[in-house]
Amino acid sequence: MKFLEKHILITGCASGIGLAQTRAFLSEGAKVYGVDRSEMKENLGEQFHFFQGDASDERFVNELSEKIEKLDILCNTAGVLDDYLPLEKTSFSLWQTILHNNLDSMFLITKVFLPKILQAQGAILNMSSIAGMVAGGGGISYTTSKHAVSGFSKQLALDMAPENVHVLAIAPGAIETPMNRKDFEENGGEMARSVAEETPMKRWAKPEEVARLTLFLASEDAKYMTGSVVTFDGGWTTK
């Protein structure tokens, strides 16, 4: 029970990586607060507290902060894709939507909860992507937003290091989640097969694999890694 009596906040908890992270922390004894726009479809027990709402809504986040008195670890996991659209096919509205969801929400919830994390000398884990490391992992909006997440994480890590708060970004590659279900369903799953073939390990990872990495990165054992953007991509960025 590595996280017994620890209080964790996870955005995007209702599915995919966020749900896997939620289950993993609960299995290690933590009390988990989950945020998602979508409904939570399963009962995860009395140590889990769900708040349905938009993490990019300032009023919602401020009200949430009043309900959560103590926080040790923040996992900014929520995010959206842009269907791999290039600049010429990206509307300004889509650009704003992707950056708002992937970046503004992270800024807002981190800023509001930072005093609690400072008090706990805890950890902040931000979900970046291989699209935050190299081009080709998404469209123009998504790639821009994830590069910004990586930069945000590095600067925040530098600022927080003297306070003994460690900040890390996780940069996953191909992870099989509901967010990329279309890759498996459209055109007979051609996109999913193509991505697997281009990945040196020749497969997609499962959300539970990212969750296990998260447990380590959130622990005291990873504190000296602060500022790192940790790739988890089956070798994609080694190419």
Residues annotated as catalytic (active site), given as ranges = 142
Separation between Cα atoms, residue 149 and residue 162, nearest integer Å: 21
Nearest Cα residue to 13 out of 65, 43, 50: 50
Q: How many CA atoms lie within 13 A of 171 on its CB side?
A: 28
Task: Give 231's strand partners.
Answer: 171
DSSP 8-state code for residue 40: P
Are β-strands 229-232 and 7-11 bridged in parallel, bridged antiparallel, or unpaired? unpaired
Separation between Cα atoms, residue 37 and residue 156, nearest integer Å: 26
Separation between Cα atoms, residue 151 and residue 229, nearest integer Å: 9
Residues 6+ apart with CB under 8 A from 57: none
